[in-house]
Amino acid sequence: MNGLTCQKFFVPEPVRLQRPGNSLTALASYRARTLAGTARVPGDKSISHRALIFGALSVGETVVTGLSRGDDVARTETALRHLGAEIQAPESDTRVVFGRGVGGLCEPASILDLGNSGTGVRLLMGVVASHRLAAYFTGDASLSTRPMDRVILPLRRMGADISARDGNLLPLIVAGAHSPVPIEYVLPVPSAQVKSAILLAALNTPGRTSVVEPVPSRDHTERMLAHFGAAITEGEDSDGRRHIAVEGEAELTGRAVAVPGDPSSAAFLVAAALAVPGSRVTIENVGTNPLRTGFFDTLREMGADIELSNVRAIGGESVADVTVRHGGLVGIEVPPERAPTMIDEYPVLAALAAGAEGRTVMRGVRELRVKESDRISAMTAGLRACGVTVDEFGDGLAVTGLGGPVPGAATVDARLDHRVAMSFLVLGMAAREPVVVDHAETIATSFPEFIDLITVLGAEVARAPRPRNASK
């Protein structure tokens, strides 16, 4: 503990971002003539969560610029305020965090409601697990169905007392360990969220905690640990497994963090430009961390014209401007080992594959079944409703492309999943007939600027009457 006295502050409720319509929104996407221009996507959501958390755990001032303005990150910000961090907002995408230091957070007087944010809840569970406080975590209907056992198990091994609903689901209570113990933990499946939760808990745990990854996952946490001054080591063993170790009882120092554009958000603009004939779009300032660019690698193998320019490094992260031109795509078999580098992009890849020539096979992505929705099932149902042949597997799907525009003329249920919603809106921009997406309001959780940006580039997306029936 750093000796700071915790006080109870008034904390405002999470920011309610403006959505495309009311709380139940259907949007119609129409065939676009062409998409052209330059755009900037919002700050990377993964890095935004982490920047706020590390700022709260540091001593001194952390200035975060380019912060994601989605509801997910706003939930993490509010939770950190409840935990005692002072956060100022001089601009909509800038935060100044006055941290309390590792071990200095306060027991919250209110429930920590993380809405739809799986990243926010899992990372904050890690933070609380080694603090001498208890916190009650909850989320929305979608998040409350997502498994928390994969993060509960290692945190319990470190000494945290966690009580969860049957099935290890939210809501749950984390009582931090009074005497946390370091562990070595081998991840059973690749997960940056689980890895990050353990490493965050390690910061306030005496000794050396290590995580072993059989397959590398995104490394934003490791980069930020080094940036804020933690003692972190990384290496590989003789089996090619990646080892990340952190020395506990760390002292972090506030830093400046410039958040690059989110590659998972940029993916939707890239996909739209590839799908709509005659299009040429440049997205500036996109994060190109090599553990996040599997989508670009896959598209190039399918024949996409993608160019990276103005390549540079900002705050330990690689950044570039991405220019994409329309062109015909061919189906491929996506290497299953690539999944951790593009797990969020599979829904929009499936939408693109519908217009490609031949069959695109995506396996090794069982993780998609426990995201905001069962994304394999959601994409299969929606694509079939739009006239596309899809084979569904336990760990993936195969899309038989039509070599041109899909029929469309369907209503798709996004199942309260922002990435499914945006994927079908992209599909509609190249379909013969409009595609209506029900429950599209969840786009605001990660990319509230999507409709405005894609419209400026030339797409037509409009409110639609809420349908009585949609793909299920």
Q: How far apart are CA 385 and CA 37, in angstroms?
A: 31
In a domain, 11, yes or no: no
Closest CA to 387 of 416, 421, 412, 362: 412
Q: What is the pLDDT of residues 87-111, one digit of tens each?
A: 999 999 999 999 999 999 999 999 9
The distance between the two most distant Cα atoms of the chain, rounded to a whole number of Å, is: 65
In a domain, 469, yes or no: no
In order of 86, 115, 224, the CA distances from 137 in angstroms are 20, 10, 25
- Residues of the chain whose pLDDT is less than 70? 1-24, 466-469, 472
Question: What is the tally of structural domains in the chain?
Answer: 2
Q: How far apart are CA 59 and CA 253, in angstroms?
A: 5
**For position 134, which CATH number holds?**
3.65.10.10
CB of 324 closer than 8 Å to CB of 273? yes
Task: Determine how β-strand 460-464 pairs with β-strand 26-30.
Answer: antiparallel
In a domain, 19, yes or no: no
Q: How far apart are CA 60 and CA 104, in angstroms?
A: 13
Q: How far apart are CA 385 and CA 383, in angstroms?
A: 5
Dihedral sign from CA coordinates of 72, 152, 64, 112: positive
pLDDT given at position 244: 98
Q: How far apart are CA 472 and CA 459, in angstroms?
A: 26
Q: How far apart are CA 10 and CA 227, in angstroms?
A: 31
Q: Does residue 250 sit in the same domain as residue 269?
A: no
pLDDT given at position 8: 44
Q: How far apart are CA 357 and CA 332, in angstroms?
A: 9
Q: Does residue 315 sit in the same domain as residue 189?
A: no
Given 234, 257, 280, which residue is the final one in a domain? Answer: 257
pLDDT given at position 314: 87
pLDDT given at position 5: 58
In a domain, 12, yes or no: no
Q: Does residue 66 sit in the same domain as residue 211?
A: yes
10 Å Cβ neighbour count for 333? 12
Closest CA to 416 of 445, 392, 396, 390: 445
Q: How far apart are CA 261 and CA 48, in angstroms?
A: 10
Q: Which residues pair with 61 in a beta bridge?
A: 98
Given 242, 257, 272, which residue is the final one in a domain? Answer: 257
10 Å Cβ neighbour count for 460? 15
Q: Does residue 161 sit in the same domain as residue 105?
A: yes
Asked about 344 being catalytic, the answer comes back as yes
Q: Does residue 100 sit in the same domain as residue 158?
A: yes
Q: Does residue 67 sit in the same domain as residue 148?
A: yes
Q: Does residue 188 sit in the same domain as residue 267?
A: no
pLDDT given at position 24: 63
CB of 78 closer than 8 Å to CB of 53? no
In a domain, 472, yes or no: no
pLDDT given at position 11: 36
Q: How far apart are CA 449 and CA 319, in angstroms?
A: 20
Domain range holding 265? 26-42+260-464
Query: Which residue out of 140, 344, 417, 438 is catalytically annotated?
Result: 344
Q: Does residue 130 sit in the same domain as residue 186?
A: yes
Q: Does residue 287 sit in the same domain as residue 363?
A: yes
